Structure 1
């Protein structure tokens, strides 16, 4: 299982999630405490938004703890919205185009979880993509394909609704081809304005997701709230600060604050 962290609010330096906290994302890359595997050393990536609609991105296959460039970049880049991810591979080889976040146009996406028996349903899922989106697929992970499916189902118009349709398609095809379906999905995505996160699993055992208000050195010197942080696991030991997002839920962070919503994919196999 992977670990990730994301932020939306007043501009902060990336290091305030990636490298500075006691349990930063770099720390989690070799010492995760709320995952099946403590080590997430199959690459890393960051995507951040600035003055242009599309995000900047830096990815590599090195473990996050051993890349000196990552610490340097995180110390220098200041952004109002960014996503960061350390990978423990479940599907797809350890190569750069399988590292999260994935980017298409102004969208960015990262994922922690799994699609059971993915290779058995990969081809019919890919057939749902338009030629343009199929050509945009550069890696081999279930995560990237879920992202492209959501784009196919109208992510620009209805981000959470499109993601529900993507998960529903996976469940439908799994039931049709295999007679069973298992999706564990804790993901984060953004269009450069709003930040979204989802926690969902068909077996009600999704990877963890936490949210907290964020204060930081990069903006308000008095330590007042600057925005919201969404993470796979808390960045520090301040237990009262972090709220666990329940299974079957989505979170939307926008300039007005954070909103909790239901996330309920309606697969045809469930409705039958």
Structure 2
């Protein structure tokens, strides 16, 4: 599967600190899980839940693909809001298909950019989608960013009926061929076509429930070979964030998803401690308790402290409100 990392908070974070430097930062999440003991997977050979192995190539787990099909990062700087008449905080996005650690432009950008909201995504291509920049997440709809870890079951067979559900505005905002970008268009069709306004969390949640219901229904109605879908989604407008961890069938564990409200200072060089647990002598002037309120939602932990990370229950929402309080709610709907 893919990997993704999201940060939102009042404290600016340096992209290099959260995306590049840690030994298990997202750009290095290719073959090994950092804290596999936190994640329970379903082992079909044993017929029961087991502790995940540390290897991403473990075919019994939901995270077994190597992720080499492109990288994207989207973040907010506030510059668009400052210079444009509408004062809307729009995201800046960088995408490339070369390995991120070989991308000198990305490394330079991350070393000199801080933000209070960032989405980063390491792609494992599916649905025969080409490895091109337009297929890299996150996808942009006005002030909103959207990304996905997982796949829509047999997307090629439900694509035409899915397209018929889209608004014209959402359809015209599709530039690539991935299942994710089409699902994002479906989500924003349900949310509304004005992507310059700030929708409430209730509106975001309702649109996501309708999106997941549509996808599950389309797959079931087609009676196809791959009936299940893994739908770990994330969407933000820079002020609030909604994420899901969802598998459409009970016998399949969805890809891992964690959240943290305390890992920020561990990842931030301005504060004591180190994400890798190294005894680094930092000349910091700020105590950990001084770090601003924040939330991280990520496919994998990226600090050594297991206590900083909480596994999101299967088929659940992660709801981060504007005050940065976190609620975990079960995803409920009927077909």
TM-score normalised by the chain length of structure 2? 0.75
SS at match of 2:317: strand
Gap regions ≥5 residues in structure 2: 37-55, 57-62, 82-88, 193-198, 272-284
RMSD: 1.9
Q: Return the alpha-carbon distance in structure 2 between the equivalents of residues 121 and 161 of structure 1.
A: 22
Q: Return the alpha-carbon distance in structure 2 between the equivalents of residues 197 and 14 of structure 1.
A: 21
Aligned 8 A contact 1:172 1:267 in 2: no
Aligned 8 A contact 2:317 2:331 in 1: no
Q: Return the alpha-carbon distance in structure 1 between the equivalents of residues 170 and 322 of structure 2.
A: 30
Deviation readout 1:143-183 (Å, 9 max, x if unpaired): 11111111111163511210111111011111212267312
State the partner residue of 1:49: 76
Larger strand proportion of the pair: 1
Q: Return the alpha-carbon distance in structure 1 between the equivalents of residues 205 and 228 of structure 2.
A: 20
For residue 267 of structure 1, report the CA deviation from its aligned partner: 4.6
State the partner residue of 1:228: 295
Q: Does 1:81 align with 2:81?
A: no
Q: Return the alpha-carbon distance in structure 2 between the equivalents of residues 194 and 258 of structure 1.
A: 10
Q: Does 1:199 align with 2:264?
A: no
State the partner residue of 1:181: 227
Larger Rg: 2
Q: 1:143 aligns with which of 180, 184, 187?
A: 180
Residues 1-40 of structure 1 mapped to structure 2, 5 A cutoff: 1-9=1-9, 10-28=11-29, 30-33=30-33, 35=56, 36-37=63-64, 39-40=66-67
Q: Return the alpha-carbon distance in structure 1 between the equivalents of residues 131 and 330 of structure 2.
A: 31
Aligned 8 A contact 1:165 1:265 in 2: no
For residue 62 of structure 1, report the CA deviation from its aligned partner: 1.1
Gap regions ≥5 residues in structure 1: none
TM-score normalised by the chain length of structure 1? 0.92
